[in-house]
Structure formats: structure tokens, C-alpha cells
């Protein structure tokens, strides 16, 4: 069933353009952003800095696992100066991807 990606109105077979939006109809909707946000992310691992986190993110994305990075920068510069690590990055993945993500992370850790 063709559907308008803009207004989500479903059309009959054979129609190619949404009469309201003038947008080309698609067969399948791209995954909706709201769905993404609603899905539960669980913390996977904490890494000592964003560089590592980006590496892990890249590996996860290559495996088709959506993930997000949250970096906690210790807000007080005094605190950073006093105790070195500075910041840490936490990786979040969706709950259903957690097992697979952990395996990938595990493999990666051997190389870091
Ligand atoms: Zn439309």
C-alpha cells in the first residue's frame, strides 16, 4: 500500500503522488523518529573518553546496532584538574540489541 511519507496518508495501489503534499508516495515508511525515541535504551558500557566511545559506536553501527553516546564532562574545571580522567562516555543501546552489542564490545576490548 503506497503511503505518503509526509502526512502518512495511505493511498490505493497505482497512485504515486500525495494529492495533499505533492510528495512521492513510498511503499514502506522509513523508521519513524518517534519510534526510535520511544524505544528503551539501556546503558551498555562506560568508556574513558569520547574517542573510545566513538570507536565502539562505529563498530556497533557497522553491525547494524543503533546506539547513542552520552558524555559526562565533569563540569567543574577544578574537579577535572584535581582528578585527571576528565570525562567519561557512556554507550547506550536498545535493550533487544544489548546481548549482541556486549559481544561486539567484548571483541573490541581485546584490541583497544
Ligand atoms: Zn501527504
Kindly report the pTM of this predicted structure.
0.54
Whether 97 maps to a domain, the answer reads: yes
- Nearest CA among 50, 49, 58 for reference residue 108: 58
User: Ligand 1: distance of its center to the CA of 2 in Å?
Assistant: 11
User: Ligand 1: distance of its center to the CA of 31 in Å?
Assistant: 17
Task: For CA atoms 52, 58, 59, 60, give the dihedral sign.
Answer: positive
Q: What are 62-92's pLDDT values in tens digits? A: 999 999 888 776 554 544 444 445 578 889 9
User: Ligand 1: distance of its center to the CA of 51 in Å?
Assistant: 42
Identify whether residues 19 and 44 lie together within a single domain: no
Domain that holds residue 89: 40-109
Query: What CATH number does residue 63 fall under?
Result: 3.30.70.1370
Identify whether residues 25 and 45 lie together within a single domain: no
Q: What are 42-63's pLDDT values in tens digits? A: 899 888 877 888 999 999 999 9
Whether 35 maps to a domain, the answer reads: no
Question: Please, are residues 5 and 30 in contact by the beta-carbon 8 Å criterion?
Answer: yes
Rounded distance, CA 36 to CA 29, Å?
Answer: 13
Rounded distance, CA 97 to CA 22, Å?
Answer: 37
What residues pack around ion ligand 1 (CB closer than 5 A)?
4, 6-7, 18, 20-21
Whether 49 maps to a domain, the answer reads: yes
Identify whether residues 52 and 104 lie together within a single domain: yes
Identify whether residues 5 and 51 lie together within a single domain: no
Q: What is the pLDDT of residue 82?
A: 43
User: Ligand 1: distance of its center to the CA of 59 in Å?
Assistant: 37
Whether 25 maps to a domain, the answer reads: yes
Amino acid at each position: 500500500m503506497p503511503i505518503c511519507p509526509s502526512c502518512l496518508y495511505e493511498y490505493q495501489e497505482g497512485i504515486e503522488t500525495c494529492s495533499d503534499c505533492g510528495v512521492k508516495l513510498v511503499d514502506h515508511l522509513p523508521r519513524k523518529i518517534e519510534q526510535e525515541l520511544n524505544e528503551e535504551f539501556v546503558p551498555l558500557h562506560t568508556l574513558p573518553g569520547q574517542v573510545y566511545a566513538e570507536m565502539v559506536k562505529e563498530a556497533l553501527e557497522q553491525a547494524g546496532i543503533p546506539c547513542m553516546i552520552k558524555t559526562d564532562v565533569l563540569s567543574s574545571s577544578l574537579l577535572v584538574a584535581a582528578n585527571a580522567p576528565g570525562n567519561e562516555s557512556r554507550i547506550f543501546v536498545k535493550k533487544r540489541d544489548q546481548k549482541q552489542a556486549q559481544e561486539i564490545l567484548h571483541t573490541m576490548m581485546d584490541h583497544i
